[in-house]
Amino acid sequence: MKTEERPPAAPPPEPDLPPRRLQWAEQLRDLGYRLLAPASSLVFAAVVGTVVILLVQRSVEDLGDVAGAMWSYGVENKDSLAFIFGRATPLILAGLATAVAFKAGLFNIGVEGQYAIGALSAAVAGSQLRAPTLIHLPLTVLAGMAGGLLWALIPALLRVYRGAHEVISTIMMNYVANGVLLYLLSGPLKDLNQPGDVDQLRTEPIQETAQVGRMVGFFNSLGFNFRPSAPLTWFFLFALVAAVVYALTIRRTRFGYELRVLGTNPRAAEPSGIRTNAMFMKAMLLSGAVAGLVGLPEVLGLEGVMKIDYVRGFGFAGIAIALLGRNSGLGIVAAALLFAFLDRSATGIELRTEVPSEVIIILQGVLILSIVVAFELVRRLAARRRLQETHERA
């Protein structure tokens, strides 16, 4: 459908505004409402975690031990922050990838498969091309994005042209990605210098010119005292910049505006001159391209190679992070840091206590469910208050 380009409609004239000071108070209360939901769901998740630990261990001392271990590994240990920043890096990227699709009202559950293919494409470009860093590294990163985009292209096309719901198709693509990965790493792309065991499969190592260094020196020059081997790469900075770019794109550009209209009111999108199908395509492909970056900190930074047993699960965590962060750039960074902290403290629980560290995975799952319920409850609360006020004013 071809419609004239026209500027977004002017907002309707505001009814008689309350005095300015009241507006301030209202804004403050809105902020309170907005923080109430994440805060209450964090408390709820902590309560569930406590109950689970008590059910398993039946003693309150263990509870103290778990809290102590979480504190000493998550906060006190001198490398904690390096680990948390490093872990947050792929989580931020995965959260952003999911959020771009969410903004358009699309569910990209396929970040998991998209980053597998993205990491593999980057590993091929990184190990096979020969070029100076200035050309090689950007090309490798682009190859990663292209891989993720390619894997999102099929569900995007199926959705736009065949009406297939993207939830099922992206999940199917995750399984196909597994098969493709196994096939390519056990055959065409296998590093012949490595033993043939299935769990040892990997690509050839990434060239020096496509590797990304650790950010440890930078932080230590700021007064931190991280170990040189701490798992923190320059991709952390890259992820933060990506979050800022995302936030600006959503808020300040025409693309972001159209994305938001599509996500909040799909029926209004077409009449207001937004080409829905083109936007669905763009949102899904952008989401896939960003997802293609998720595996790069590991492949180009920490490991210097793509292995069959690369770290999995960031795609699913990304969904939780986008939900927890309410699809906002700042929120996603905060949620990713929280999840990274939980991952880090899981190590402490593992090493210091008898409680299985998997309790952290339960916490993360509970968090997602409680956050969506909490947002709904807070929304109702706020709506009721507003209705009351309107009545009072009348």
Partner 1 sequence: MPEIFGQLLGVAVIASLIRAFVPLYLATLGALFNERSGIVNIGIDGMMIFGTWFGAWGSLRYGPVAGLLVATLSGTLVALVHAVATVTFRVDQIVSGVAINILALGVPRFLSIVAFGEGQETQSPAVPSLPTINVPELGAISPVVLLTIALGVAAWWVLNRTVLGLRLRSAGENPRAAESLGVRVISMRYAGVLISGAFAGLAGGYLSVELVGQYTEGMNQGRGFIALAALILGNWSAIGVAFSCLLFAWTEALTVYLRVDWINNAFIASLPYIVTLVVLALFSRRVRPPKAVGQAYEAGSPV
Residue 386's identity, in one-letter code, is R
Among 376, 295, 354, 251, which residue's Cα sits nearest to residue 124?
A: 295
Q: Is 162 in the site for partner 1 (CB under 8 A)?
A: yes
Q: Which residues pair with 376 in a beta bridge?
A: none
* Number of C-beta neighbours around residue 375 at 10 A: 20
What is the token pair recorded at 356?
Answer: 């299985």
DSSP bridge pairs for 307: 202
- Helix, strand, coil shares of the chain, percent, nearest 5, are 75, 0, 25
Using the rule CB under 8 A, give the single segment among 62-70, 121-129, 273-281, 317-325 that binds partner 1: 317-325
CA distance linking residue 303 with residue 185, whole number of Å: 16
Residues 85-144 that bind partner 1 (CB under 8 A): 107, 109
The one segment of 121-129, 136-144, 171-179, 193-201 that binds partner 1 by CB under 8 A: 171-179
User: Shortest approach of partner 1 to residue 394 CB, angstroms?
Assistant: 18
Residue among 287, 302, 285, 305 at smallest CA distance from 122 = 305
376, 384, 388, 389: which one contacts partner 1 (CB under 8 A)? 376
163 near partner 1 (CB under 8 A): yes
Residue 36: CA count within 13 A, CB half-sphere: 17
Per-residue interface string for the shown chain with partner 1, residues 28-57, x marking contact by CB under 8 A: ------------------------x---x-
Q: Is 365 in the site for partner 1 (CB under 8 A)?
A: yes
- Which residue in the set 142, 150, 372, 382 belongs to the binding site for partner 1 (CB under 8 A)? 372
H-type helices in 190-234, by residue range?
Answer: 216-221
Q: CB nearer to partner 1: give 24 or 183.
A: 183
Tell whether the torsion through CA atoms of 211, 200, 91 and 110 is positive or negative: positive
Bridge partners (DSSP) of residue 214 are 233
Q: Which is nearer to partner 1, 178 or 200 (CB)?
A: 178
* Among residues 63, 131, 153, 171, the one that binds partner 1 under rule CB under 8 A: 171
67 binds partner 1 (CB under 8 A): no
Q: Are 325 and 337 in contact (CB under 8 A)?
A: no
The yes or no reply on residue 316 touching partner 1 (CB under 8 A) is yes
| 158 touches partner 1 (CB under 8 A) | yes
Binding of residue 299 to partner 1 (CB under 8 A): no
* Identity of the amino acid at 141: V
List 290, 349, 359, 378, residue binding partner 1 (CB under 8 A):
359
Binding site for partner 1 (CB under 8 A): 52, 56, 107, 109, 154, 158, 162-165, 167-169, 171-173, 175-176, 178-180, 182-183, 186-187, 313, 316, 319-320, 323, 356, 358-359, 361-362, 364-366, 368-369, 372-373, 376-377
